[in-house]
A and B are shown apart, each in its own frame.
Chain A
Amino acid sequence: MKKILKSTLAIVAVFAAFTSCNNSGKSSNSGALSSNNAEKVYIAPGEHDSHYAFLSGGYSGNLTVYGLPSGRMFKEIPVFSQFPTNGYGYSEETKPMLETSFGFVPWDDSHHPDISQTKGKLDGRWIFINGNNTPRIARISLTTFETEEIIEVPNSAGNHSSSFITENTEYVVAGTRFSVPIPQKDMSIKDYKGNFKGALSFISVDPEHGHMDIKFQVLMPGFNYDLSHPGRGKSHGWFFFTTYNTEEANSLLEVNASQNDKDFIAAINWKKIEEYVNNGGGTMMPANYAHNVYSDDTHTATSTMKKEVRVVNPSEVPGAVYLLPTPKSPHGCDVDPSGEYIVGNGKLSANLTVHSFTKMLAAIESEKFAGEAYGIPILNFEDVLAGSVEQPGLGPLHTEFDGKGNAYTTFFISSEVVKWKLGTWEVIDRKPTYYSVGHLTIPGGNSAEPFGKYMFAMNKITKDRYLPTGPEMEHSAQLYDISGEKMELLLDFPTHGEPHYAAAIPAEIIKNNSRKIFKLSENQHPKKALSDADTKVVRDGKNVHIYMTMIRSHFSPDNIEGVKVGDKVYFHITNLEQDFDVPHGFAMIGARNAELLIAPGQTKTLTWEPERVGVWPFYCTDFCSALHQEMQGYVRVSPASSDIELSWSLGE
């Protein structure tokens, strides 16, 4: 019997191999995978990917977590958007996270995640991401994979040249894309030129807890500040921003902001400004912006409105800000691992411009200026130019580095990634992307030590790459092996929302720090119930507070009476589990907010305003055990005039 089975298996195996050969033969005709490449992205069941990738969620306002090389999505982390999946932004504890000076803003457009660094290397403690529309910066813990802090950025509008981290996470930097009146005021739009300003914000990061605080804002001329990156190594202490619309047009920018032959890269010596500010320099101006902090101890966020911000005019600090002419409307502003080269990806330029930090310092030293803009010295293009990559493609957007002396630039219009050599500026390889690539990411690509094994391109147009899903398609990412001389396309994988940039990191740097549970003994939620003895129902006028626990597979209490129409009921629920991956859900019929998903050891609160008399059930939404279907309870709702006393029970 065994023999037959064995030989059958052998035949099946041969047959399978034969078929898969056929398949790969077929697909290589259409320019896709060879079976060798399939192996490179295959992660066997139960095995782990070698890298994490964190992709911005674009208009989802969130951040998604992927594995590389498999392209499997592990998690969506809610950041700037309400997330009914787990109650983020709906629960009483997390609502303060989305408070802003505009009130409660439950959505955003998230763009550029960046991982914290120590000495120029990824340290995997936190990841930061910007909200573009309502200017905000969020810090997400890479132990809990939850958003821990959000700070609003005043004087900013279209928070796009953000959120990039300096070499030791001294600052997360946030630049405005749109210049605006500072302070805001009622004025004619036509008076933009010379009157609007662009704020570049340097937000300090507390080295121990990661807490953010706006140290200073540099009030720059009214250009558009598109992207930015920190100096590193020899250029540590500087920050570089691409600009466009140096024409200061206020209408039809498509034409009017593309007139100048060259725009600028603004080089900011933040160390110099920091010193100035530390000595009392700059001006505190009135402002109004939210600072929201979540605590893992209380499982609760607090929102504080801050009332002033320190601003610095570049002319106050001579020698701190310079403009580097860069053709034409540069988008990405990318600094190589050594800190010497600053790449200006001129969207409308035929060549790719690379500036030299050393030459920039020499030009500053010799005071050779081409002129000035609003008091800021402009250097000569030729004096700072390191070299150009000649005619590499159409529409360069972004460049990343592999740490082996090569750079990889995306070209939106010609839809390709081009590999070129730093220093010689020669093109080594080019590979098409499907279709219209925006950003690209190499793990550690924005650091002194990239991990140059994989690169992935995030494409704006999906079209025919997947089974069609109606007019709206998810965007597509493509993974390339860049370990050899030539790039090799390995995999297409769908992404969520519109990932702009992404940050990626070898898994071993963070996976062992990933939190499994919250300890009940460390729970400091003011409304926690740590055992059956703590459960109760308390009336406070029209507010009814239910202190409830949950464990496989029951709620305590699960029968509650004495609630009345017109009451506001707060379910404060503590998950008593202390085992990895045993969250419980909570759903209440008629709840007009969301459900809750509560992690082991955590307390969360859902509000419910019963409007109808009756007996209304609640239940667990996360399949938790063989008795999950039994995990339920009832709330009796009596008329407003009823005199039924509050009572609660379990198993009686």
Chain B
Amino acid sequence: MLAYLNLTKIKSKTMKKSLKILTMIAIATVFSCGGGDKKKEAETGYGKKAPVKTEKKEAASQRVELSNKGVGPIKSVTLEAEVNQDMAAHGKEVYAKMCTACHKADKKFIGPAPTGILKRRTPEWVMNMILNPEQMVKEDPLAKDLLMEFNGAPMANQHLTEEEARAVLEYFRTLK
């Protein structure tokens, strides 16, 4: 009782803040539960697409960020002028085994297509996204936006080795 009284007496900023957060969570929950259904209804019931939020910002997948190295174990990658074909072939194998459940080489699937990825991303960012997706979607603003753009589908950590991730990167260089 004593504790309760003390807490109610101070109408602190902290309290307000947490209330705000709670409200936001509540709204978010409503949105994530109800929102999806409504969208489907709109598409199937009325033959119209659900209203898409008009954002000024360019879609995360199209954004060009050639200085962002992302968050993770990869700090610096040097790409040779010529593609290492052996490495790329190995990377293609790894990609086929571990990535194609969600990525198709040349078209958007569950996740984005890797073709042309190095025109928009640094090699380090690509490898960190492969090797450290959990932290990337939390801490890298671009990865965060991508998660939203791709409907909240998480990038699965398939526990590639650094060497395998590097090979996949080399394979991506061959995708034109």
A contact residues vs B (CB 8 Å cutoff)? 1, 4-5, 8, 11-12, 15-16, 517, 520-521, 530-533, 549, 551-554, 556, 576-579, 582, 625-627, 629-630, 651
> Could you list 15 A-B pairs, sorted by A, with CB under 8 Å?
A5-B10, A5-B14, A8-B10, A12-B6, A12-B7, A521-B97, A531-B96, A552-B154, A576-B101, A577-B158, A579-B156, A626-B153, A626-B154, A627-B153, A629-B36
A556 touches B151 (CB 8 A): no
B2 partner residues in chain A, CB cutoff 8 A = 11, 15
Whether the pair A549, B6 counts as a contact (CB closer than 8 A) is no
Chain B residue with the shortest CB-CB distance to A574: B101
Interface string of B93-109 (1 = CB under 8 A from A): 00011101110000001
CB distance from B165 to the nearest CB of A (A): 13
Interface status of B56 (Cβ within 8 A of chain A): no
Is B157 at the interface (CB under 8 A from chain A)? yes
Q: How far is the CB of B7 from the nearest CB of chain A, in Å?
A: 6
Residues of B near A16 (CB, < 8 A) are 3
In the complex, A15→B4 CA distance in Å?
Answer: 11
Is residue B141 contacting chain A, with contact meaning CB distance below 8 A? no
Once the chains bind, are A1 and B14 in contact (CB under 8 Å)?
Answer: yes
Establish whether residues A627 and B152, one from each chain, have CB atoms under 8 Å apart when the complex forms.
yes
**Cβ-neighbour of B32 out of A4, A532, A552, A626 (below 8 A):** A626
* Bound complex: CA A582 to CA B159 (Å): 13
Docked Cα-Cα span, A625 to B109, in Å, equals 17
> Do A4 and B12 touch (CB < 8 A)?
yes
Contacts known (A8-B10, A554-B110); A520 close to B32, Cβ less than 8 A: no
List residues of chain B with CB within 8 A of the CB of A582.
Answer: 156
Measured in the bound complex, the distance between the Cα atoms of B110 and A215 in whole Å is 55
Contacts of A533 in B (CB 8 A): 96, 100
Q: Nearest chain-B residue to A530 (Cβ)?
A: B97
Query: Which residues does B use to contact A, with CB under 8 Å?
Result: 2-3, 6-7, 10, 12-14, 32, 36, 96-98, 100-102, 109-110, 151-154, 156-159
Residues of A within 8 A of B6 (CB): 8, 11-12
B97 near A552 with CB under 8 A, answer no
* Interface majority SS (helix, strand, loop, mixed), chain B: loop
B100 surroundings in chain A (CB, below 8 A):
531-533
Q: Once bound together, how far apart are the Cα atoms of A461 and B144, in whole Å?
A: 55
Contact B157 A578 (CB under 8 A): yes
Asked whether, in the complex, the Cβ of A579 is within 8 Å of the Cβ of B10, the reply is: no
Residue of A nearest to B37 (CB): A629
B157 touches A579 (CB 8 A): yes
The 6 A-B pairs of least Cβ separation, nearest first, read: A626-B152, A551-B101, A578-B158, A12-B3, A579-B157, A578-B159
Query: Taking the nearest CB of chain A, how far is it from the CB of B98, in angstroms?
Result: 7
Q: Is the CB of A625 within 8 A of B153?
A: yes
From B96, B101, B159, A579 is in contact (CB under 8 Å) with B159
Q: Could you tell me if B97 and A551 are in contact, using CB atoms closer than 8 angstroms?
A: no
Q: Write out the residue numbers on chain B whose beta carbons fall within 8 Å of the beta carbon of A530.
A: 97
Complex: how many Å from CA A130 to CA B97? Answer: 41
B101 pairs with A549, CB closer than 8 A: yes
- A551 contacts B10, C-beta separation under 8 Å: no
Shortest A364–chain B CB gap in Å is: 59
How long is the Cα–Cα vector from A533 to B98 in the complex, in angstroms? 12
B25 to chain A, nearest CB (A): 14
Tell me which residues across on chain B come within 8 A of A625, comparing CB atoms: 152-154
Shortest CB-to-CB span from B143 to chain A, Å, is 15
A340 CA to B34 CA, complexed, in Å? 71
Contacts of A579 in B (CB 8 A): 156-159
Q: Residues of A contacting B109 with CB < 8 Å? A: 651
Q: Known interface pairs A1-B14, A11-B2, A579-B158. Does A532 touch B101 (Cβ–Cβ under 8 Å)?
A: yes
Contacts of A1 in B (CB 8 A): 12-14
Report yes or no: B13 in contact with A552, Cβ–Cβ below 8 A: no
A120 to chain B, nearest CB (A): 38
Q: A626–B156 Cα gap in the complex (Å)?
A: 13
A520 and B97 contact, CB distance less than 8 A: yes
| Contact A552-B153, Cβ < 8 Å, known A12-B6, A531-B101, A651-B109 | yes
**Closest residue of chain A to B95, judged by CB?**
A531
Closest residue to B32 on the A side, CB-wise? A626
Chain B residue contacts of A532, Cβ below 8 A: 100-101
CB pair A551–B156 under 8 Å, yes or no, is: yes
Give A413 to B53 CA distance when docked, in angstroms. Answer: 74
Most buried by A among B12, B96, B157, B159: B159
A551 to B158, CA, bound (A): 11
Assembled-state Cα–Cα distance A16/B6 (Å):
14
The answer to whether residues A531 and B97 also contact, given A15-B3, A582-B156 and a CB cut-off of 8 A, is: yes
Interfacial chain A residues near B110, Cβ < 8 Å:
554
